[in-house]
Structure 1
Amino acid sequence: MARAGKANPDGYVHTRDAKEYQRLRDQARMWEEATAHVLAAVGLGPGMSCLDVGSGPGAVMRLMADRVGPEGRVTGIEIDGALGAEALQDLRREGGAELEQITADLLKLEAPAGVPFDLTFCRLLLMHMRDPVAILEKMSAWTKPGGVVVAQEFDFGAISVEPTCPAMGEFNRLFEGVFRAHGRNLRAGRQLPAQFEAAGLGTPDGTDAAVHYLPLAQIANMLIGVYDGLYAAAAELGIADPLRASQFRKDMAEAGADGRYYCLTPVLIAAWKRIG
């Protein structure tokens, strides 16, 4: 059963624990192909240097390392030192590129070691930031002329379960309640072109969108994980309680086992711009 707790002082609205870290890894696997497609589209290749801003469990860094090879360099920035250290240990065990991890608050970081980079990238970061344009401005400043800035963000406008599923209604109630109360952006993906313009990058050179439509059985546990990861923040807002959380978990698990339900995921939208 989910339990109330303190919100993270760094502003991340999900809990930071082993269960959340595993959810992030599972989520990364779901979107690996979509991100690999974007890295190929922008021309990331052998010997290049790249920066993953908000690198989390290191999944995007792994994709970068595979593309840049042993002569390339991959740096991550992550505010959660424990998560970043674990990711770096795993990445170095696999090898493939020169790998570095910077533990820092992005908003307070003037410039990471190794600037400028051939590619500056973020995935599922801007939706958590109150000023995404400021982040894109930093990313642009850290990218060398001829290099590329890429952002890949969720748009939650489409997420749904068919046929109508009461458990999904409870998920949306808590999820949207926490995100809106904390100023998180539920439409970050579709707003990327406007944010690129506001950051002085201009119109994106390209965009890409990916979505999954899956049997609920394949994603029910992830939805439960998101709910539980947001429970502490929801409890602080007064919109969650143990009994309701317990009922949600039961209802979602039963719906996942039912076989009739399908889930349309958020749309993962990417935009990129080459620096002139």
Structure 2
Amino acid sequence: MSKEANPDGYIHARDAGEYQRLRDQALMWQAATEAVFDRIGLGPGMSCLDVGSGPGAVMRLMADRVGPQGRVTGIEIDGTLGAQALADLRAQGGAEFTLIDANLLDLDTVPGAPFDLTFCRLFLMHMQDPVAAIEKMSLWTKPGGTLVAQEFDFGSIAVEPPCPAMAEFNRLFEGVFLGHGRNLRAGRQLPLQFEAAGLGLPDDTLAEAKFFPLSEMASMLIGVYQGLFTAGIALGISDPARAEAFKADMTEAGADGRYYCLTPILIAAWKRVA
């Protein structure tokens, strides 16, 4: 079960299971991102940059709004995932697509910049210096364009009634995130980060959480736990026996019917760039 850690610092696995989890997660939060695009007025002919574009789900939503005359560019550090996303997007069509295989912080400029919209979702929470990322996004946004960040705040995540399997999930999840310097409160810190990047306070925000039967969330929670297993090994807080016990316990709890899961809060903040 153990593998080498990712050289780019990503704390989740980089494998088929993780890629599918990212696609499932994107579908879960699609409407929340669409609501933000509607609020900022993303429309035909505009140009967009998606930072940390992953499997391309947000790029697809951008293309659906900007249309054939619009341009959608992604930046993704995982070349395998990015190449598949670009192939899928171009096969579906609908806009001009470009994918840049790079670490955002290594880039001084991006082909096609400046953009009408620069965007990231669930990206800053993985960054050691999120303000530096926002500063770069701001530089690549047209005057009058909009910078948007959409990040989780994990303070709300819970299962009711209390569930032993969820306690184990939280132990590993929080241990890995904190142990590897990741941010469990990225969403609520967006206004502070916007100010630190010189943007001033956000023009507006939008927050959403979901409350599902655990039966609808158990497989995703198992996927997150498995994806963090290797990072937990590096910290000495994972072991195969405990991981197998968690999977069995969470599967059983999901089938029980009594439990409900409150998700993290997904918080968006945006600013029109002067």
Instruction: Quickly name the TM-score band, shorter chain normalised.
Output: over 0.9
Give how far 1:115 is off. Answer: 0.5
Which of the residues 140, 143, 152 maps onto 1:142? 140
Give how far 1:114 is off. Answer: 0.3
User: What's 1:86 paired with?
Assistant: 84
Give how far 1:23 is off. Answer: 0.3
User: What's 1:4 paired with?
Assistant: 2
Q: How does 1:68-147 map to 2 (within 5 A)?
A: 68-147=66-145
- The answer to whether the aligner puts 1:58 opposite 2:56 as a matched pair is yes
Q: How does 1:219-230 map to 2 (within 5 A)?
A: 219-230=217-228
User: What's 2:158 paired with?
Assistant: 160
Letter in 2 for 1:190: R
- The answer to whether the aligner puts 1:184 opposite 2:182 as a matched pair is yes
- The answer to whether the aligner puts 1:175 opposite 2:173 as a matched pair is yes
Give per-residue Cα distances to partners, 1:106-128, cap 9 Å, x unaligned.
Answer: 11111110000000000000000
Q: How does 1:195-274 map to 2 (within 5 A)?
A: 195-274=193-272
Distance 1:41 1:112 in 2: 26
Give how far 1:5 is off. Answer: 1.8
Distance 1:108 1:8 in 2: 18
Give how far 1:93 is off. Answer: 1.0
Q: Is the 8 A contact 1:5 1:233 kept in 2?
A: no
Aligned residue for 1:110, secondary structure, equals coil
Give how far 1:6 is off. Answer: 1.5
Count of matched residue pairs? 274
Letter in 2 for 1:8: N
User: What's 1:23 paired with?
Assistant: 21
Distance 2:194 2:223 in 1: 32
Give how far 1:143 is off. Answer: 0.3
Distance 1:41 1:131 in 2: 28
5+ unaligned residues in a row in structure 2: which ranges?
none
Give how far 1:53 is off. Answer: 0.4
Give per-residue Cα distances to partners, 1:144-182, cap 9 Å, x unaligned.
Answer: 100000000000000000000000000000000000011
Distance 1:239 1:214 in 2: 28
Give how far 1:104 is off. Answer: 0.5
Aligned residue for 2:155, secondary structure, equals coil
- The answer to whether the aligner puts 1:48 opposite 2:49 as a matched pair is no
TM (norm. structure 2) is 0.99
Give how far 1:186 is off. Answer: 0.1
Letter in 1 for 2:26: A
Letter in 2 for 1:258: D
Distance 1:107 1:8 in 2: 17
Which of the residues 31, 36, 47 maps onto 2:34? 36
TM (norm. structure 1) is 0.99
